[in-house]
């Protein structure tokens, strides 16, 4: 059977028959992307305000991105890190130009959760301590170590007991964080803006306190920038503060859709790692490295950090200006925006989809915008018109 020949009913039947029923699926099949838009199997066009959970930062089917990957595919696609690679060397040099100065060592893997696992393992080795402190509403992934750091019982409970002991404290509660960190804490793990939990920015005071508390106790501060990375107007959301973490983790947008994870750490942490104790077959392949190199180059050349900061602020202002009685709060930074409703979010997701706009939920009452950074004024206007009709509908 040729996949391109399947109609919606056939696609749904095959997926429903052969996948574990882990996802509550929306009823459309996305088959093609072009720039800021996605197309379903019936040819209907949608404005993409989700970029696959924050991944497709350059939008879809970008010709320069495609050519760079295609050329690399035709040169050398795969290659283990036990050999040197020209593309990997180029990539590491690129990363060092955007990394906080003290983070000089970069471990590449294949997903966000894998990058978090590496961070936790590195911190445990470097500190000789076992435990984690993370935040309520925080999300760090679904492998066992990353899941132990994730707060929501919905994700954790079916798989318990989980590996490391984690204490979850209220986000932005400095006293709670201070009380939770002790001489067994290896890691204080935080998102600078909580994504899955509902787009909740950390206060500058909380981030600074987390830095101070971790340093005082001998724990390491890990910034999870898997969702925030590259979309808050700068490479990192912690750039809004003076805080420098001991480990920074990113994934999602870093390669614009090619699976990737990146764990950046200090020289001291790196030198505590015995050779051969951690690794991955696929991580840092020439193809993955090429995908990162071209993504970072296009972000820079197209000035997308500055543009997304400006358009993100405009979007938030205009959503606020709608004055919808159904909206509790609009919050975020750059192209990472949450709209918290006074009611459950699913009907609004559906209504926006019916109007040709795809957004994501973030918790039960918030919808989230993680648009590609290539949005221009036209897409902002289109989104606001759709949001107005949905949010002011009743």
332, β-bridge pairs: 337
Q: Given the complex with ligand PLP, which of 195 and 363 has the nearer CB atom? A: 195
**Is 117 a binder of ligand PLP (CB under 6 A)?**
no
> Distances from the Cα of 105 to the Cαs of 100, 108, 162, in angstroms?
11, 10, 28
Report the SS3 class of residue 188: strand
- In the bound state, the residue with its beta carbon closest to ligand PLP is 112
261-266/247-250 β-pairing: antiparallel
Query: Helix 304-321 crosses helix 377-391 at what angle (to 10 degrees)?
Result: 20
Of the two residues 50 and 386, which places its CB atom closer to ligand PLP in the complex? 50
Residues in 40-59 at the binding interface with ligand PLP, rule: CB under 6 A: 53
Number of residues that bind ligand PLP (CB under 6 A): 15
d(C-alpha 371, C-alpha 129), whole Å:
39
- Those residues whose C-beta lies under 8 Å from the C-beta of residue 10, and which sit 6 or more positions away, are none
192 makes contact with ligand PLP (CB under 6 A): no
Q: Which stretch binds ligand PLP (CB under 6 A): 17-25, 182-190, 221-229, 378-386?
A: 221-229
Nearest distance, CB of residue 55 and ligand PLP, angstroms:
9
Q: Which of 226, 298, 327, 369 binds ligand PLP (CB under 6 A)?
A: 226
Beta pairing partners, 256? 258
Distance CA(13)–CA(294), nearest Å, equals 37
| Both tokens assigned to 161 | 């007991």
Residue 282 is a binding residue for ligand PLP (CB under 6 A):
no
The string of DSSP codes covering 7-49 is -HHHHHHHHHHHS-S-S---S--EEEEEBTEEEETT--EEEES
Least Å distance, CB 151 to ligand PLP, is: 12
Question: Between 126 and 155, how does the x/- string for binding to ligand PLP read (CB under 6 A)?
Answer: -------------xxx--------------
Which one among 62, 94, 196, 340 touches ligand PLP, defined by CB under 6 A?
196
Q: Does 230 bind ligand PLP (CB under 6 A)?
A: no
Under the criterion CB under 6 A, does residue 191 sit at the interface with ligand PLP? yes
Cα–Cα distance, 87 to 75 (Å, whole number): 11
Residue 111 within binding range of ligand PLP, rule CB under 6 A? yes
Which lies closer to ligand PLP via its Cβ, residue 145 or residue 312?
145
Among residues 336 and 390, whose Cβ is nearest to ligand PLP? 336
Q: Which stretch binds ligand PLP (CB under 6 A): 191-199, 329-337, 350-358, 360-368?
A: 191-199
Cβ neighbours around 361 below 10 Å, total? 18
In contact, 59 and 379? CB cutoff 8 Å: no
Q: Among 36, 49, 91, 112, which residue interacts with ligand PLP (rule: CB under 6 A)?
A: 112
Strands 247-250 vs 220-224: parallel, antiparallel or unpaired: parallel
Should residue 113 be labelled a site residue for ligand PLP when binding is judged by CB under 6 A?
yes
d(CA 351, CA 13): 25
Contact positions toward ligand PLP, by CB under 6 A?
53, 111-113, 116, 139-141, 191, 195-196, 224, 226-227, 251
């Amino acid at each position: 059977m040729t996949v391109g020949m399947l109609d919606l009913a056939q696609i749904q039947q095959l997926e429903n028959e052969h996948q574990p029923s882990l996802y509550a699926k929306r009823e459309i099949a996305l088959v093609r992307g072009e720039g800021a838009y996605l197309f379903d199997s019936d040819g209907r066009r949608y404005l993409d305000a989700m970029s696959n959970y924050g991944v497709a930062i350059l939008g879809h089917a970008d010709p320069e991105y495609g050519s760079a990957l295609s050329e690399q595919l035709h040169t050398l696609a795969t290659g283990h890190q036990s050999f040197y690679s020209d593309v990997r060397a180029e990539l590491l040099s690129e990363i060092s130009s955007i990394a906080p100065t003290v983070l000089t060592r970069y471990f590449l893997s294949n997903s966000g959760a894998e990058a978090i696992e590496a961070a936790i393992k590195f911190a445990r080795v470097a500190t000789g301590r076992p435990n984690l402190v993370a935040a309520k509403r925080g999300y760090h992934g679904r492998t066992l170590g990353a899941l132990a750091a994730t707060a929501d019982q919905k994700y954790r409970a079916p798989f318990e007991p989980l590996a490391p002991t984690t204490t979850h404290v209220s986000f932005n509660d400095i006293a709670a964080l201070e009380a939770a960190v002790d001489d067994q804490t290896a890691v204080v793990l935080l998102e600078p803006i909580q994504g899955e939990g509902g787009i909740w920015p950390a206060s500058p005071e909380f981030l600074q306190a987390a830095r101070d508390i971790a340093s005082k106790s001998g724990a390491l501060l890990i910034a999870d920038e898997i969702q925030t990375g590259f979309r808050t107007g700068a490479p990192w959301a912690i750039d809004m503060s003076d805080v420098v973490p001991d480990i920074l983790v990113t994934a999602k947008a870093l390669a614009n859709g090619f699976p990737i994870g990146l764990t950046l750490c200090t020289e001291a942490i790196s030198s505590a790692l015995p050779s051969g104790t951690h690794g991955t077959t696929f991580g840092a392949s020439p193809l993955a490295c090429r995908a990162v190199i071209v993504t970072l180059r296009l972000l820079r050349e197209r000035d997308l950090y500055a543009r997304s900061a400006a358009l993100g602020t405009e979007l938030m202002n205009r959503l606020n200006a709608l004055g919808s009685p159904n909206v509790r709060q609009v919050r975020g930074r750059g192209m990472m925006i949450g709209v918290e409703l006074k009611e459950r979010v699913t009907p609004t997701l559906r209504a926006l989809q019916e109007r040709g706009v795809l957004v994501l939920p973030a918790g039960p009452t918030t919808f989230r915008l993680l648009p590609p950074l290539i949005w221009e004024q036209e897409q902002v206007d289109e989104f606001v018109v759709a949001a107005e009709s949905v949010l002011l509908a009743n």
